[in-house]
């Protein structure tokens, strides 16, 4: 556990991807093969089921610390993570237990069949033999949740650096059907359980945010304009009767969208298409909040399929019957895409609508109307453009609707990581709810370094409470918070969820008396339906 704990510490103290990759490579070079396999399993969602109920762990911690329940819950509410709360509250260990990661996990798997008394004995013994960081990891393992700041892409890049194997092949391999008990580490890296040739994707073509006047783009007739959607960008591959779905983050997400796989399977021939996976119900595009319910699930239930049906809006075609089309013009590719879809009878697969317009002046009104049907704005694509790798200025532009804004007061501050580890950079904001404040957003972007330094000094002078890295502060600093959209949410205490919140500006001209109310915030939902 010590080596694994050191790895997690190295990952958590930096926000630099290369540093995380180096830490992972070092671990893969030194750890036992079974530990390596379990690390990959944990980081890709192949976690063992929860062997102990959270409520029991909470109760045992309160027995040890003699804390009243209200104080425990307040601590939990501030920290935001049960495993971390337990690790912070428990006293220092009296012993030292050293076992490799795979042994701990095997013991936790076997623990599921034990009685509550047996579980308690095991957990308390573990807590008393692990340091704070090791205990945090143990709590995350036993809680059935293991969210660490490492994406599948970062993990894959580390494995690629270690082995020299193609990153996309490794992604397919680690996402594939395997368990730590069914394969060796070398066999996993070499993809002995998969057929990579059929699933190999292409790099995505990406757009820049529009930074010109429309008139500076030239003749409007040279451009194809579509609506921009807020879903999951996907590359759908059909080769040799197999279907694969890759996200823009280079993750294989095929199993999460069985209805799209089924619909694509009905097409004749082989192809690779680019599109947007959206939650769509009764021909209406839903919010990203709805789509989120379908993401990162190993099993999609019938109930979830009914509650959150999905569809695919298709933008482009990259390959047709083994012919790479990316060097052809946007106009040529669109024609081939149209021919492919002439025989499509599925109601969940749609060609992205091409907007008819006569001149640039018509587009601004169309962009402003986009939010009313849950579009993010417009995409402008030069008809002569090839499907290039990554971003290239001048060919594809995204032109989003203007953000929504509210005024909110800061109530919590937390230090950042890396070069910002000495500054308070992550903030929690609240609005007025009758005679109290209610949290509506967390944000960490939008301010200058000078402003962050000034706020950090203020936090040090005005902190009310301290919970680990979090500081409760006097509700005095007001900020204008910008976000893309807003929706009702049962998961948030305020009843609302903001999409991509960030700080637009520090409102030094306002006091806490001037912040928005929760009623006004909720009114934005109704105004933008």
CB-CB contact of 437 with 517 (8 Å): no
CB-CB contact of 84 with 469 (8 Å): no
- CA distance to 189, 226, 414, 468, 476, per residue, from 473 (Å): 48, 45, 10, 14, 8
CB-CB contact of 494 with 433 (8 Å): yes
For residue 177, what is the DSSP state?
S
Catalytic residue among 20, 34, 228, 238: 228
Cα–Cα distance between 391 and 122 in angstroms, integer? 53
> In 143-257, where does DSSP find H-type helix?
152-163, 167-175, 185-189, 196-199
What secondary structure does DSSP assign to 349-394, as a single string? EEEPPBPP-SSGGGHHHHHHHGGGGTEEEEEEEETT----SEE-TT
Cα–Cα distance between 281 and 177 in angstroms, integer? 31
* Sheet strands (E) in 164-240: 205-206, 208-209, 223-229, 232-239
For residue 252, what is the DSSP state?
B
Name the token pair of 193. Answer: 């359980």
For residue 210, what is the DSSP state?
P
Cα–Cα distance between 408 and 96 in angstroms, integer? 47
CB-CB contact of 8 with 137 (8 Å): yes
Q: What is the largest CA-CA distance in the chain?
A: 77
Task: Give the alpha-carbon dihedral of 234, 238, 243, 244, to 10 degrees.
Answer: -40
CB-CB contact of 337 with 316 (8 Å): yes
CB-CB contact of 162 with 29 (8 Å): yes
> Quick check: is 493 catalytic?
no
Active site residues per annotation: 228
């Amino acid at each position: 556990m010590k080596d694994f704990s050191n790895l997690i510490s190295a990952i958590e103290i930096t926000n630099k991807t290369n540093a995380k990759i180096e830490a992972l490579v070092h671990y893969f070079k030194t750890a036992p093969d079974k530990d390596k396999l379990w690390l990959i399993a944990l980081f890709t969602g192949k976690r063992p089921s929860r062997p102990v109920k959270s409520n029991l762990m909470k109760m045992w911690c309160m027995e040890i610390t003699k804390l009243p329940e209200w104080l425990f819950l307040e601590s939990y509410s501030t920290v935001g993570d049960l495993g971390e709360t337990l690790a912070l509250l428990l006293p220092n260990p009296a012993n030292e237990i050293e076992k490799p990661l795979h042994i701990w996990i095997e013991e936790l798997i076997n623990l599921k069949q034990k009685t509550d008394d047996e579980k308690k004995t095991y957990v308390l013994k573990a807590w008393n033999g692990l340091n704070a960081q090791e205990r945090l990891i143990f709590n995350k393992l036993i809680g059935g949740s293991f969210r660490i700041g490492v994406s599948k892409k970062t993990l894959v890049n580390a494995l690629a650096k270690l082995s020299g194997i193609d990153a996309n092949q490794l992604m397919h391999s680690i996402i594939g059907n395997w368990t730590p008990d069914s394969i060796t580490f070398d066999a996993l890296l070499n993809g002995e359980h998969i057929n990579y040739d059929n699933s190999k994707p292409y790099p995505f073509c990406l757009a820049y945010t529009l930074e010109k006047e429309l008139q500076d783009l030239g003749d409007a007739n040279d451009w194809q304009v579509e609506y921009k959607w807020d879903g999951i960008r996907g590359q759908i591959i059909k080769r040799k009767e197999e279907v694969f779905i890759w996200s823009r983050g280079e993750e294989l997400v095929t199993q999460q969208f069985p209805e799209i796989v089924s619909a694509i399977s009905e097409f004749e021939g082989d192809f690779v298409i680019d599109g947007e996976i959206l939650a769509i119900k009764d021909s209406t595009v839903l919010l990203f909040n709805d789509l989120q319910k379908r993401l990162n699930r190993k099993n999609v239930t019938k109930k979830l399929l009914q509650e959150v049906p999905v569809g695919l809006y298709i933008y482009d075609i990259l390959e047709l019957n083994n012919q790479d089309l990316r060097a052809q013009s946007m106009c040529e590719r669109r024609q081939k895409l149209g021919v492919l879809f002439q025989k499509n009878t599925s109601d969940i697969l749609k060609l992205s609508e091409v907007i008819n317009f006569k001149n640039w002046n018509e587009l601004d009104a169309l962009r402003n109307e986009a939010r009313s049907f849950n579009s993010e704005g417009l995409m402008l694509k030069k008809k002569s453009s090839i499907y290039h790798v990554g971003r290239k200025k001048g060919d594809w532009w995204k032109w989003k609707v203007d953000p929504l804004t509210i005024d909110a007061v800061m109530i919590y501050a937390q230090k950042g990581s890396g070069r910002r580890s000495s500054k308070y950079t992550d903030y929690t904001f609240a609005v007025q709810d009758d005679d109290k404040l209610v949290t509506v957003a967390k944000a960490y972007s939008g301010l200058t370094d000078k402003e962050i330094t000034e706020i950090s000094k203020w936090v040090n002078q005005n902190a009310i409470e301290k919970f680990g890295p979090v500081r409760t502060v006097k509700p005095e600093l007001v900020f204008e918070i910008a976000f893309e959209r807003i929706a009702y949410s049962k998961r948030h205490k305020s009843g609302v969820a903001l999409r991509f919140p960030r700080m637009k500006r520090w409102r030094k001209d306002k006091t806490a008396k001037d912040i928005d109310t929760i009623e006004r915030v909720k009114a934005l939902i109704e105004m933008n339906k």
